Amino acid sequence: MLEKLKERVFKANLSLVKQGLVIHTWGNASARDIKSGLIVIKPSGVSYKKMKPGDMVVLDQDGKIVEGKYKPSTDAPTHLLLYKEWKTINGVVHTHSTYAAAWAQAGKDIPPLGTTHADHFYGEVPCTRRLTEQEIENDYEVNTGRVILERLAKSDPLAVPSVLVNCHGPFSWGLDAEEAVHNAMALEEIARMAFYTVTLGTSKPADDYLLKKHHERKHGKNAYYGQKKKKK
């Protein structure tokens, strides 16, 4: 089943390594099949060097293994909850990339300090609250998804396509697995820029009107960045 989607999820996971967002087995990417609702995700703890497209695990919406010889990623319950609550996304990525994880470990939102940030994210990149001991001991991965949803309760997930889980690391998502990887890459670069900007002594966000201009010229119905698609 879903051989093409397995190949895409496999390549998405390898992209995380290629882009320097993941070392060892510290990350995972998944995608949802729009027609069936089934989710394809990386197997848990399998080396990227040895992994093959056929090793990807297929899950139903409740997390039951439909196809695959390996256990799915331990973060699968988090992915599943995000897919359940956000119908507009079909790809999720989790990494422990250095700069984004540093902001997560500090428990801080990444402020919108300039236009590079605004080109990609509307407002700050939010950081969740810390999970309680009870939340960690009972359904940890599900509760990780819950604090993400709690933090982004009033946000459009496609306008803010990443979050920092406090003391843990970043999750990113998108219309598909490829876009989720793209967003994870953008997040890490923005986190790096913000780190240096704050180190240089500035943590005040850029003016709202500048941030709005840069975000809206790339996103939304009035966007004018890039080339228009030619009508056939």
pLDDT (mean) for 56-71:
96
169 half-sphere exposure, CB direction, 13 A CA radius:
17
pLDDT (mean) for 19-45:
95
Question: Which has the minimum average pLDDT: 41-50, 176-185, 218-227?
Answer: 218-227
Tokens of 62: 């409740």
**Statement: residue 225 has pLDDT above 80:** no
Q: What's residue 223's pLDDT?
A: 78
Distance CA 172, CA 97 (A): 12
- List 57's β-bridge partners, or say none: 41
- List 49's β-bridge partners, or say none: none
69-109 tens-digit pLDDT:
999 999 999 999 999 999 999 999 999 999 999 999 999 99
Q: What's residue 136's pLDDT?
A: 98
pLDDT (mean) for 147-156:
94
Q: Supply the DSSP string of 64-131, one letter for each residue.
A: -EEE-SSPBPTTHHHHHHHHHH-TT--EEEEE--HHHHHHHHHT--B---SHHHHHH-SS-B-BPPPP
Q: Which active-site residues does the annotation give?
A: 119, 225
**Statement: residue 219 has pLDDT above 90:** no
109-118 tens-digit pLDDT:
999 999 999 9
Q: Are 91 and 82 in contact (CB under 8 A)?
A: no
Domains of the chain (ranges plus CATH)?
Answer: 3-216 (3.40.225.10)
Tokens of 57: 């695990």
pLDDT (mean) for 176-184:
97
The pTM of the full predicted model, rounded to 2 decimals, is 0.92
Q: What's residue 230's pLDDT?
A: 65
Which amino acid is present at 63?
A: G
pLDDT (mean) for 182-194:
98
